[in-house]
Amino acid sequence: MRRALTTASLGRGLGPLDERLRLAEAVRGSTLALRAARHQLVLQLAAAALEDDGPLPGADAEYRRAREAQAALERHEREVDAGCMARQAEVQRFDNQIDVPPCAFRAEG
């Protein structure tokens, strides 16, 4: 519950910060510090979301897509690993079938 409160308070800070950033841009003021503060806040929100292992309020669709993409990546990595292992076994079988003496290709001098 503590994390949810922290996430909610971080999320509430984003709106006012965005408003200040829009105002600074409108008057062509310096936005560097505001952009840095916003970036830091977004990183904190992301870290809180990862700790909770669930979507932030209003981000259900994005969370679902991210989880689906993560699952697809994990399936792909397993397929690649299986393909590599099969290829290694094929190469090993081929190597075992060839009877080439180790010095067969040594250049004569």
What pLDDT shows up at residue 107? Answer: 55
Residue boundaries of the structural domains of the chain: 1-57, 59-97
pTM: 0.43
Give backbone dihedrals phi and psi of 57, rounded to 5 degrees, phi first. Answer: -55, 130
**Is residue 52's pLDDT more than 80?**
no
Q: What is the pLDDT of residues 3-18, one digit of tens each?
A: 555 666 777 888 888 8
DSSP-assigned states of every residue in 35-56: HHHHHHHHHHHHHHHHHHTSPP
Q: What is the pLDDT of residues 67-93, one digit of tens each?
A: 889 899 999 999 998 888 888 888 888
What pLDDT shows up at residue 1? Answer: 43
